[in-house]
Amino acid sequence: MSSSTEVLVIGAGVLGLSTAAELLRRGHEVTVVDPGTVNASAVAAGMIAPAFEALADWRGSDGQLDRSDLFRAARAQWSDFATAFDLPLHREGAEWRGPDLEVVASQLRWLGFPAERTGDAVVTPADWRTEPAAALTRLRSLPGLTVMPGRVSSLTTDGTRWTARLEDGSGLAARSVVLATGAVNGLDLPEPVARLVAQLQPIRGQIAVTARHLVERTVRGPAGYIAPGPGGSVIGASMEPDRTDLQPDLERGSAMVRACLAQIGVKESPAVTWRVGVRGATRDGLPMVGAAGPVGLHLALAPRRNGWLLGPLVARTVVDGLEGRAAEPFALALDPRRLA
Ligand SMILES: Cc1cc2nc3c(=O)[nH]c(=O)nc-3n(C[C@H](O)[C@H](O)[C@H](O)COP(=O)(O)OP(=O)(O)OC[C@H]3O[C@@H](n4cnc5c(N)ncnc54)[C@H](O)[C@@H]3O)c2cc1C
């Protein structure tokens, strides 16, 4: 059976669904296709964390990478996006606990974020949080959005229309396609997109979920973070480059949990369940977002550890490109062609 749509979005993670939501809001007809298995977006902690993520990148690069402007621009999209699509948004801020409080406070301020020393913590109101499972459910069920179960095996074009062939043999035709397939897609793609996508590096992440309510807002430190989660807390997360397996590593995970709990002075580990997801990343650590070469094909890929933070900004950038609007300043930094 074959059918057609104006815009086909392949992948129902945060990038695919945010883009689909933005397309709907601007009056486009959209179909999303996804196999429906658990993805990185569902596993995530849901931090919308421009301040501590910019700090992590800056420190991790010995001061060479300042992503604070991009991350601030991304968070700035969230209020309107959450209101428009009725997504959970918690603005309680986040804090740092560790040995180097004064240094962290001054580095956050240097990156342009408000930061205050409060007792044995540095607190910033700049970092917010959503609830991934609830947000994905809301986005998937937006009125007017068609979400089809299925896995696309190939994508071809005759120069004016695209055809996505699904594994069950059916086909879907579309004027435009947004590829939002995460770290690994197994798709047969035309050049030069196939070459671009082949560059994606998978980075496995493991996170613990506990029913114990451990923190009122996200607490970060050298060992990782503890964040409020639905019905308890989440503790994470590992960064394991070039791994795509989804089996939790209990020994390594338990050590991470103990170290994170020590940051908040908790000695006994609560019962946890494990979740594992795989993030996609590019060699410069920024996503691949926008037109990809062949007319009508757009990418929304590789947000690394910031898919939730970047979701609404990526969506807006992709849809602007699809509508032929002038690119916003940050769009150039994300343009897939920089990696060709
Ligand atoms: C443990 C962990 C914690 C994290 N915490 C945070 C956080 O707090 N804040 C934050 O901003 N980010 C966080 N991240 C990162 C964030 O989760 C990712 O950057 C983001 O989810 C990636 O979204 P995506 O839409 O690109 O990919 P995904 O969520 O992987 O979605 C891609 C979708 O495409 C589908 N797909 C793939 N191939 C095909 C095909 N051929 N046909 C059809 N569909 C296909 C997949 O099944 C999947 O559903 C975390 C990640 C992990 C692993």
Determine the atom of ligand 1 nearest the C-alpha atom of 166.
42
pLDDT at 1: 45
Q: Find out whether the beta carbon of 235 lies less than 6 Å from any atom of ligand 1.
A: no
Cβ-proximal residues to 323 (8 Å cutoff; 6+ apart), any chain: 26
Residue whose structure tokens are 């580990």: 269
The full length of the chain comes to 340
**What are the backbone dihedrals phi and psi of residue 34, each rounded to the nearest 5 degrees, phi first?**
-160, 145
Q: How many CA atoms lie within 13 A of 303 on its CB side?
A: 30
Instruction: Choose one of 18, 34, 47, 239 to mutate for the ligand 1 pocket test, by most ligand atoms within 8 angstroms of C-beta.
Output: 34
- Residue 328 has what pLDDT? 85
Peptide bond into 149 cis (omega under 30): no
Q: Is the CB of 253 under 6 A from ligand 1?
A: no
Q: What is the pLDDT of residue 2?
A: 55
From the list 19, 24, 32, 82, the residue with the least C-alpha distance to 318 is 19
**Per-residue pLDDT, 233:** 98
Question: Can you tell me the distance from the alpha carbon of 120 to that of 4, in angstroms, rounded to the nearest whole number?
Answer: 58
Same fold, 2-41+135-200+283-339 and 202-281: no
Q: What distance in Å separates the CA atoms of residue 66 and residue 319, rounded to the nearest whole number?
A: 26
Give start and end residues of each alpha helix (H) in 168-306: 193-198, 250-263
Residues 6+ positions from 141 with CB-CB distance below 8 Å: none
pLDDT tens digits in sequence order for the chain, 340 residues long:
458 999 999 999 999 999 999 999 999 999 999 999 999 999 999 999 999 999 999 999 998 999 999 999 999 999 999 999 999 999 999 999 998 999 999 999 999 999 999 999 999 999 999 999 999 999 999 999 999 999 999 999 999 999 999 999 999 999 999 999 999 988 999 999 999 999 999 999 999 999 999 999 999 999 999 999 988 999 999 999 999 999 999 999 999 999 999 999 999 989 999 999 999 999 999 999 999 888 999 999 999 999 999 999 999 999 999 999 988 888 889 999 999 8
User: How far is the centre of ligand 1, averaged over its atoms, from the C-alpha of 268 (Å)?
Assistant: 31
Nearest CA to ligand 1 atom 4: 44
Choose among 283, 333, 39: nearest CA to 181. Answer: 39
What residue segments make up the domains of the chain, in order of their start?
Answer: 2-41+135-200+283-339, 202-281
* Centre of ligand 1 from the C-alpha of residue 311, in Å: 11
Q: Which of the listed CATH numbers 3.30.830.10, 1.10.10.10, 3.30.9.10, 3.40.50.1820 matches domain 202-281?
A: 3.30.9.10
The C-alpha atoms of residue 129 and residue 53 are separated, in whole angstroms, by: 13
**Atom of ligand 1 at shortest distance to CA of 37?**
47
179 lines ligand 1 (CB under 6 A): no
Identify whether the C-beta of residue 164 lies closer than 8 Å to the C-beta of residue 174. yes
In this structure, the residue with its CA closest to atom 15 of ligand 1 is 305
Dihedral angle of Cα 196, 197, 200, 202, to the nearest 10 degrees: 180
% helix, strand, coil for the chain, step of 5: 30, 30, 40
Residue 329's pLDDT is 84
pLDDT at 99: 86
Alpha helices, H only, the chain: 14-25, 40-43, 50-60, 68-76, 78-85, 101-110, 132-140, 193-198, 250-263, 307-322, 331-334
Q: Which CATH number fits domain 2-41+135-200+283-339: 2.60.200.30, 3.50.50.60, 3.40.50.20, 3.40.50.2300?
A: 3.50.50.60
Helix, strand, or coil (residue 187): coil
Q: What is the pLDDT of residue 330?
A: 86
Rg, the chain, Cα only: 20
What single letter denotes the amino acid at residue 283?
R
- The two structure tokens encoding residue 280: 């996609």
Retrieve residue 32's tokens: 């999303």
